Structure 1
């Protein structure tokens, strides 16, 4: 649901080479967060620092749809990957 809906929305799309990540979708961070939370009923499931200026986020919904977002210090967020069937697993001991 997230993947299909975002492809046609207001977000700026930049085409890339024919790869599994065919498009990168960007918007101001506050708009991206609002869209993910309110329209798609997603919540931030995980975060991690990529660099001092970049935070990686994984957003998921109850159906298992997911989006990986890069949040930049300058105030823009970009969806760099999205898919279905997100599953939380335990690390083996």
Structure 2
């Protein structure tokens, strides 16, 4: 139950951020850039590689990049190819889903 609530709240926050990916002219956003530039930066500086992709709506996708050392970054990209770093952190753990694991 708590996991579903967290997923719903995270999805709502990411949706709001995805809708705001196009910054106003007077308000530069420094954590956004062309998708390929952010992906290149994540690979060269943190050794992060794409782990998961999800569709947020018809205008944005969410991507999760993770390194073997455990650093992670979540990007939201709009249809024009502009990406914003939404969250980043350390100690990522991938939990395998098996028949005995309740989600």
TM-score w.r.t. structure 1 length?
Answer: 0.70
Relative to its length, the structure with more helix (as a share) is: 2
The residue matched to 1:35 in structure 2 has which SS?
helix
Identify the residue that residue 28 of structure 1 maps to in structure 2: 34
How many pairs does the alignment contain? Answer: 71
Identify the residue that residue 74 of structure 1 maps to in structure 2: 80
Please tell me whether residue 49 in structure 1 is matched to residue 55 in structure 2: yes
Rg larger in 1 or in 2?
2
Please tell me whether residue 89 in structure 1 is matched to residue 78 in structure 2: no
The residue matched to 1:85 in structure 2 has which SS?
coil
TM-score w.r.t. structure 2 length?
Answer: 0.63
Structure 1 gaps of 5+ residues are 1-11, 14-24
Shift of 1:30: 1.3
RMSD: 1.3
Q: Which runs of 4+ in 1 moved over 2 A?
A: none
Relative to its length, the structure with more strand (as a share) is: 1
